[in-house]
Structure 1
Amino acid sequence: MVNLASKFQAQPWWLLLVSSLLVSNIHPRANAEPQVPCYFIFGDSLSDSGNNNDLATTAKVNYSPYGIDFPEGHTGRFCNGRTMQDIIVQLLGFQEFIPPFATARGQEILKGVNYASGSAGILNESGQQLVSI
């Protein structure tokens, strides 16, 4: 029986092919309407854009060095710059990043909301060790 995982690991050409096909279909358009009317984000720390800032948790990143490469500074993203979701939002043609649920208000909600939260998980036990009540 052929082990497909080892076959794909030995030949990285497939990753280049798939990524070039995905990127070739998404072109940012300057001064154009977004390609989709709204964008809602669900996830964990890989997509969180500041939902944990006001929660009773130690899973917060609204301080240095997080955000040092982000134009707005420390936002609560679990990285030093843009998240994968921020990049997708820009490629889709949005002029601004999708706001976190914790700070989204009024008409902002109609273009989308980021519900992602660091230390989130599918199990009830996910992130329990980070609660600081």
Structure 2
Amino acid sequence: MKISCFFLLCFVVVLISLSFHSRAQSVPGIYVFGDSLVDVGNNNYIPLSITKADIPFNGIDYPGQKATGRFSNGKNAADFLAEKIGLPTAPPFLAKPNAVYVKGVNFASGGAGIFNVTDDLINRTEQ
């Protein structure tokens, strides 16, 4: 929990600094690393993933009103950041695995963790 709070704080600081930055348009793309807070659908492309957000209510407030793989009912923090600096939302990395992403990409995956025990904890809660 402490690590998620740290990353959220860092994200807010970056967002605030970019909102005051006059040359934000010179940024070529947004590259996102994270967990379900900023996932835009990478888990939909992992066949054995147990953490998918493709249920109908998850996209009810998103343009098009359909589930996109985000763990929210609309846009997430990465979407709002990209919108704020005038860039399109970074696409999920796994949507086109052989593509070259020079204008940004989203590597975030719901259920991701930095510790080896993360997978063990997820598996334990399912049993």
TM-score surpassing 0.5?
Answer: yes
CA contact (8 A) 1:41 1:47 kept: yes
- Asked if 1:120 is matched to 2:115, the reply is no
Residue of structure 2 in register with 1:22 after alignment: 16
Match of 2:25 among 27, 34, 51: 34
AA matched with 1:40: Y
- Asked if 1:79 is matched to 2:72, the reply is yes
Higher helix share: 2
Higher strand share: 2
- Asked if 1:62 is matched to 2:54, the reply is yes
Deviation of the 1:110 alpha carbon: 0.9
Percent identity between matched residues is 40
TM-score by length of 1: 0.68
5+ long unaligned stretches in structure 1: 1-17, 28-32
TM-score by length of 2: 0.71
AA matched with 1:38: G
* Cα distance change on mapping 1:126 and 1:89 into 2, 3 Å: same
Q: How many residues in Structure 1 have an aligned counterpart in Structure 2? A: 107
5+ long unaligned stretches in structure 2: 1-11
Backbone CA RMSD of aligned residues: 2.9
